[in-house]
Amino acid sequence: MSAKPLDVLVVDDEQSICMLLQDVLARFGHSVTTCHDGAAGVELAAESSFDLVFLDIRMPGMSGLEALKKLRELQPEATFVMITGFAKDDIIDEALQSGAAACLCKPFSLSQVTKLLEEVTSGAEISL
């Protein structure tokens, strides 16, 4: 897939989503850090650099959209992929306008994640 493993941050309040993405991404040799809320994601991004960030839109406390804006300031070179179980066009549009490269709608497939990884590692435009 990629000669250089990616440093990936997964921010989702659902532990099962974090575990799933961590397992899949690690199988491809990527380094994965997970946390369960936007504020923790922002703290991690202030301390470490990430190439790819998966970010749930709806979380308690700081929403994914709020976190996205702060994370983009801290990690302007990172690729951001929003995750949502509430696929409303206005929310997805706001996420994309705020700098997200793509949005994965729950439930998403492993093939979608694999395709996304291929596109990110090759530098291609993400076309989910």
pLDDT tens digits for range 48-89: 999 999 999 999 999 999 999 999 999 999 999 999 887 677
CATH (domain of 73): 3.40.50.2300
Domain membership of residue 2 (yes or no) is no
Residue numbers of the domain that contains 18: 7-120
Is 60 exceeded by the pLDDT of residue 2? no
pLDDT at residue 3, as a whole number: 54
Indicate the number of domains in the chain: 1
Domain membership of residue 127 (yes or no) is no
Domain membership of residue 104 (yes or no) is yes
Domain membership of residue 103 (yes or no) is yes
Domain membership of residue 33 (yes or no) is yes
Domain membership of residue 128 (yes or no) is no
Smallest CA-to-CA distance from 31 within 71, 1, 67, 4 is with 4
pLDDT at residue 1, as a whole number: 45
Average pLDDT value for the chain: 90
pTM for this prediction = 0.92
- Which residues neighbour 16 within 8 Å (Cβ) at sequence distance 6 or greater? none
Domain membership of residue 24 (yes or no) is yes
Task: Compute the distance between CA of residue 123 and CA of residue 117 in angstroms, rounded to an integer.
Answer: 10
